[in-house]
Amino acid sequence: MNILARIGRLLAAAALASAPALLALFLVGRCFGVDLVAFCPAYDPDQFFYTREAATFAAAGFDGGYYGGDGRKAVLGRFGAHGAAYPVVYGLAAKALGGWEDWLGPACNMALVALALAVCARRLPLPVFAALAACLTFFPPMVFYLPTAYQDAPQMALGLVLGLALAGLAAAPSRRRLWGVLAGVFLASLTRPTWAVLFPAALFLAGPAGIRQAVRAAVLGGVCLAAAYAAFSLTASPWVAVAGTNPVSSLVSGGPAAALPLLAANLRTLFDFSANRHHTLVLLLMAAAVALALAAPADGRQARLKGLVLHACNFLAPFCLYVAIYNGSGRHLTRLLAAHGALSLAYAAAGLPGRSRSLVLAPVLAGCLALFPATVADFSLYIRPAYDGVAAYRDRLAAQAAAMDPALSLSLGAASPWLRTLAVPLRNMAVPYLAAPPAYGVEIYGPEGLAAPLAPGFALLGPKEYAKAAARTPLTPVAETPEGTLYRNDAAFGFAPWPEARP
Amino acid sequence: MTRREGLARLSPWALAAVFFTAFALGSGHFAHEASRMALLPEIDPPVRRERLLACSNMEQTVSAPGVADLPADVPGWEMFAVGPDGAPATVVVTLRKEAGRVVFYPRFGEAGASVTVEEPVGGFARKLFSLASRTDGWSPVGAQYALCLSCVENGWSAEEFPVTLRLTLTGRGTQLWHRGETVFFEVP
C-alpha cells in the first residue's frame, strides 16, 4: 500500500471512529442550541451518582468520603452502588485535565467510543469497519446515551473491543489469548457484572467445539462468573432502594416461586408494545442482529457452534436474566442490553466470512436508519433537561454550595471518612448531592435509615427527617441552606454520646 | 440447497430494504418523525410578515397567572409582558389543532430577550420554537412568527385535538400580543 493510500485509510478510519461523537455534538447543537459544556446531570439520579463519584475521585483519589445508602458502604473502597470503575476511570481523566467538570462525563464517553472504534479500525477491513461504525453511529442507544453521563455508551465501546477479542480467540485459540480475554472479561465485570456471562463463552471458544469443551466451559466459566460477581460486589455499596428486596436474594431465599409474580409482571411490560414502541423495536433490532449472525453462513461447523455459544451467553442469557428477575420495560432492557448487542455485532463483523458480514451489517444499519427519526424525537425530549434550561439548576447548586460548603469544609482534613460524608434524604437529594465539596462522600437515607443512628459527620435534613433522625443521633444545626438545615452529627465527632434507643 | 446456502444467496441490500421498511413502519409515523427531525426546533426563524390579524377561528384558552396583561396601543389588542424585574413570564395556551401552521406575535425590547414555545409531554417538554432578540430597541409591532402546529405529538393526524403549549418570555419588557383569548392565528 503506498503512502497516499495509507494516509487516506487513516483519515477515513479517524472520521468513522469519531462519527458517533460528531453526530452527538451535532444533535446537542441542533436540538438544544448549546454545546457540550452546558451539560448538567442534575435531573437524573443515575447521572449525578456517576458524575459526583468521579468528581470525588478527581479531587481526593481513594481518600474521599463514603458513598452508599442508609449508612452502608462497600467492603473495598468507598464507592457507590455502581462500583469503582466509572469513578476511577473518569476521575483519573478529570485529574489529568485539571479537575472535574460535569461535561467531562459525556466528553469521556465520546473519547472512549472513538478509541474503541479506532481499535476496530486496526482489526477490520475498511469497508467492514465503515459498516460497523455506521451501525454504531445510528444505533439508537448510542445516539441516546452518548452525550449523557450514563455509562452505557462506554459499555458499548467495551462491547466492541471484547467482541473483537473473542472473535480473535475463536479464530486462533491459544493459551495466551485465552488469558488475555479472561483478564479483559474480569476487568469488564468490575465495570458491570453482567459481563461475567462471557466467561463460559470465552472458555468454550478456546478449544475445539464439542460436548466436553461445553461442560468444561460451563463449570469453569461458572466459577469465574461467581468470582467476578463477588469481586464487583466487594467494590459496590448496597443501594438504599433495594434494601431487603434484592431480586437475586429473594430468589435464593424464596425459591423460583417467589420470582414468578415478578417474571409475570416483567413479561407483561415486555409485550406491552403500545407503551414501549420505540424501545421494543430497538430490542427487536438487537435480537434480529443476533439471529442474523447465527443464521449467516460461517466458516465451518466449529465456527458456527462457537458463534452459537457466544451469542447465547452474551445476549440471550442476560436478556432472560433481566426479564426474569429485574425489569421488563423496553427502556431498561435496551439500555442494559445495548452493550451486549454491540459485542455480538463486533463479533459477527470480525468472525464471519465476507458476504455473511454484509448479511448482518446491512440490515442492522437499515434498521438503525429507519429508527433514527424516532430516536431523535426521543432524544430531543428526554435528553433536553441535561442541556437546555439548566441555568436554574446551576443557580440552585451555587446557592446551596455557598450556604453549606463553608461548614462542611472544616472537616475536609478529618481522619475518618465518615466525617467527610454528608447524609441526604432520598426525598430531596439532587441539589445537596451535587453541591457538597468534591472530596465529600454522600450517603442517601430512606425513612428506615434515618431512624437508626447516623454514621456520617453531617446531615442535611428537613423538619420531618430531623424529627426522625434526632431520636437516635445527637444533631446540632450548623447552617441554614435553601434545601434544608445542615446538622453536625455530634456523636460522630465525639462531642456527645449516642442517645439510648427509645422503647 | 441447505437453508444456510439459501440465506447466503440473499442479497444484503434486499434484506436491508426489508429491515428498513419493517422498522420504519413499526416506528409509527416515519414521515412525520423525519419531518419533525428536520423542522424542530425552529430557532430564530425570520419574520413572516408585519401585519396584525383581525381575528382567528381557532378555539383557544389562555392561562397566565401572575403575568402582567396590559392594554396595547392598537385597539382590541393586549399584551402579556415581562415585568421590570426581568423574571421570566410563562403563558399557557390550550388550542385545538385545526391547522398545520399558525402565527403569533412576540415582541422584544432588548438584546438577549427571548420567547420559547414548548409542548409538555409527560414530565418533559418538547421545544418547538425559540426566538432571541439580537438587537437593543423594540422589534416592530405586528411582526408575525410562524409555528409548526402539526409538529406536536400525534400532529400527523388529521383529527382535531386539543394541544397545550407553554410560552416562556424572558428579558425585560418582552411582550406577547393577543386579542382576548386568542394568541395563535391561522396562517392567512
pLDDT digits (tens, 9 = 90+) for A410-448: 898 888 999 999 999 988 888 999 999 999 999 999 888
CB proximity under 8 Å: A 285-314 to B: 285, 288, 295-297
Same structural domain for residues B88 and B136?
Answer: yes
Same structural domain for residues B22 and B54?
Answer: no
Name the residue type at position A285: L
Q: Residue B83: which pLDDT band, with cuts at 50, 70 and 90?
A: confident
Tell me which chain B residue has its CA closest to the CA of residue A27: B37
Residue A326: is its pLDDT beyond 90?
Answer: no
3 state SS of A289: helix
* Average per-residue pLDDT for chain B: 89
Residue B74: is its pLDDT beyond 50?
Answer: yes
Name the residue type at position A401: A
- All residues at 6 or more sequence positions from A443 whose CB lies less than 8 Å from its CB, including other chains: A66, A67, A68, A69, A70, A71, A421, A422, A423, A424, A455, A456
Same structural domain for residues B53 and B28?
Answer: no
Residue A354: is its pLDDT beyond 90?
Answer: no
Nearest to B7 among A295, A370, A374 (CB): A295
Same structural domain for residues B76 and B164?
Answer: yes
CATH code, B126:
2.60.120
Task: Give me the pLDDT at residue A131, please.
Answer: 97
Nearest to B24 among A370, A376, A385 (CB): A370
Does A358 contact B at CB distance below 8 Å?
Answer: yes
Instruction: Give the C-alpha separation, A449 to A443, whole Å.
Output: 10
Same structural domain for residues B15 and B51?
Answer: no
Task: Give me the pLDDT at residue A126, please.
Answer: 95
Same structural domain for residues B93 and B137?
Answer: yes
Instruction: Give the C-alpha separation, A97 to A102, whole Å.
Output: 13
Residue A56: is its pLDDT beyond 70?
Answer: yes
Tell me which chain B residue has its CA closest to the CA of residue A366: B20
Same structural domain for residues B3 and B54?
Answer: no
Same structural domain for residues B93 and B171?
Answer: yes
Instruction: Give the C-alpha separation, A69 to A58, whole Å.
Output: 22
* Number of separate domains in chain B: 2
Does A33 contact B at CB distance below 8 Å?
Answer: yes
Burial A446-467 (b: 16+ CB within 10 A, else e): eeebbbbbbbbbbbbbeeebbe
Task: Give me the pLDDT at residue A421, please.
Answer: 95
Instruction: Give the C-alpha separation, A270 to A39, whole Å.
Output: 32
A365 chain-B contacts, CB cut-off 8 A? 16
Task: Give me the pLDDT at residue A253, please.
Answer: 66
Q: Residue B3: which pLDDT band, with cuts at 50, 70 and 90?
A: low
Residue A321: is its pLDDT beyond 60?
Answer: yes
Task: Give me the pLDDT at residue A24, please.
Answer: 97
Same structural domain for residues B31 and B48?
Answer: no
Q: What is the mean pLDDT of residues A99-121?
A: 96
- Interface residues of chain B, partner chain A, Cβ below 8 Å: 3-5, 7-8, 10, 12-13, 15-24, 26-28, 30, 33-34, 36-37, 40-41, 43, 121, 124-127, 130
Reading the block at residue A91, the C-alpha cell is 476521575
Q: Work out the minimum CA distance from B71 to partner chain A, whole angstroms.
A: 30
Give residue B35's domain range.
1-39
Q: Residue B31's CB: how many other CB atoms inside 10 A?
A: 10
Task: Give me the pLDDT at residue A299, please.
Answer: 86
Give the least confident one: A77-86, A494-503, B127-136: A494-503
Residue A25: is its pLDDT beyond 50?
Answer: yes
Same structural domain for residues B66 and B28?
Answer: no
Reading the block at residue A140, the C-alpha cell is 439508537
Does A32 contact B at CB distance below 8 Å?
Answer: yes
Residue B162: is its pLDDT beyond 60?
Answer: yes
Same structural domain for residues B45 and B26?
Answer: no
**pLDDT tens digit sequence for A244-282:** 445 566 666 666 676 788 788 888 888 787 778 888 899
Reading the block at residue A62, the C-alpha cell is 481513594
CB–CB contact B20 A369 (8 Å) = yes
CB–CB contact A384 B37 (8 Å) = no
CB–CB contact A297 B17 (8 Å) = no
Same structural domain for residues B101 and B118?
Answer: yes
* Average per-residue pLDDT for chain A: 91
Q: Residue A1: which pLDDT band, with cuts at 50, 70 and 90?
A: low
Does A373 contact B at CB distance below 8 Å?
Answer: yes
Residue A310: is its pLDDT beyond 70?
Answer: yes
Q: Residue A151: which pLDDT band, with cuts at 50, 70 and 90?
A: very high
Nearest to A297 among B8, B18, B28 (CB): B8
Q: Work out the minimum CA distance from A395 to partner chain B, whole angstroms.
A: 14
A285 chain-B contacts, CB cut-off 8 A? 23
Give whole-number Cα distances, B19 to A371, A374, B3, B25, B29, in Å: 10, 15, 20, 10, 16
B116 forms beta bridges with B130, B168
Task: Give me the pLDDT at residue A102, please.
Answer: 93
CB–CB contact B8 A296 (8 Å) = yes
Q: What is the mean pLDDT of residues A58-69?
A: 93
A361 chain-B contacts, CB cut-off 8 A? 12
CB–CB contact B20 A355 (8 Å) = no
Task: Give me the pLDDT at residue B107, please.
Answer: 95
CB–CB contact B27 A278 (8 Å) = yes
Instruction: Give the C-alpha separation, B112 to B88, whole Å.
Output: 13
Task: Give me the pLDDT at residue A323, please.
Answer: 85
Q: What is the mean pLDDT of residues A387-403?
A: 89
- Give the DSSP H or E segment for A165: helix A152-171
Residue B33: is its pLDDT beyond 70?
Answer: yes
Reading the block at residue A334, the C-alpha cell is 435496551
